[in-house]
Amino acid sequence: MLKIRNLDAGYGKLRVLKNISLHVKAGEIVTMIGANGAGKTTLLHTIIGLVRASAGAIEFQQKEHTGSCAQKIVAAGCTLVPEGRQVFASMTVEENLILGGYMLQRREGKDAVLRELQYQYDLFPVLRERREQYAGTLSGGEQQMLAMGRSLMSRPRLVMMDEPSTGLAPLIVREIFKIITRLRDEGNTVLLVEQNATAALGIADRGYVLEVGKVILQGPAADLLANSDVQRAYLGREKIG
């Protein structure tokens, strides 16, 4: 579904991503882990068209999208749940969700948006309860669910999530990761960036480890969880035995 080959990108003269190659298959959760500054967010922003690649190629749904603008990428079926939620605080929950269905309405009409809205309410029942509430008054966990629901409103083929657990209580984090797993089980494809490596690798099919803009490890998530270097650097423990 997504293929990235020899990708370089950055900001001005600052080269952040260095010859990155990775792929995401339909129907799987792929996670990227790494320390702050490893380039994880820059990679997502380059895929979605917010940062321009200086070298390499991005292919989505067997079509070249290197250098495409964000609107074109979203229209092709790839969306991003941004770090920090970035909900529209002065709009209601339902207005935020409907805004996320803009591309779906262009493709299939208003009725399709209303049907998708009901699906998001089934996926996130608390949003149904808060649908007339201003987004800025929601808790952090509720805002994260709203950001996810807004991104899903366009029925993307690939949804990318940037640090969805940041700043949330452990109970809410578990709920968020259950929802991500459900999305995969219902046929969705997820590219997940997370500093909570244990939780991310626990639900992912495969993973990549980024360090200073380079992929240094990749493989099945279970193998990365068992890797002593990953455990020491990102899971906070040494492998025993």
Q: Are 137 and 90 in contact (CB under 8 A)?
A: no
Residue with the bigger pLDDT between 237 and 33: it is: 33
Rounded average pLDDT over 28-51: 95
Tell me: pLDDT of 167 over 90: no
- pLDDT for the residue numbered 240: 33
pTM check: above 0.85:
yes
On the 0-12 / 13-18 / 19+ scale of CB atoms within 10 A, 187 is exposed
Distance CA 76, CA 157 (A): 8
- pLDDT for the residue numbered 236: 63
* Nearest alpha-carbon partner for 48 in 27, 28, 74: 74
- pLDDT for the residue numbered 238: 44
Rounded average pLDDT over 121-138: 95
In tens, the pLDDT along 105-128 reads 999 999 999 999 999 999 999 999
Going across the sheet that includes 53-60, the strands are 14-24, 2-11, 53-60, 63-64
Sign of the alpha-carbon dihedral angle for 227, 1, 214, 147: negative
In tens, the pLDDT along 217-235 reads 999 999 999 998 888 888 7
Distance CA 48, CA 57 (A): 13
Superfamily of segment(s) 1-77+159-241: P-loop containing nucleotide triphosphate hydrolases (3.40.50.300)
- Work out the pLDDT band at 185, boundaries 50, 70, 90: very high
Rounded average pLDDT over 32-54: 94
For the chain, what are the domain ranges?
1-77+159-241, 81-155
- pLDDT for the residue numbered 84: 86
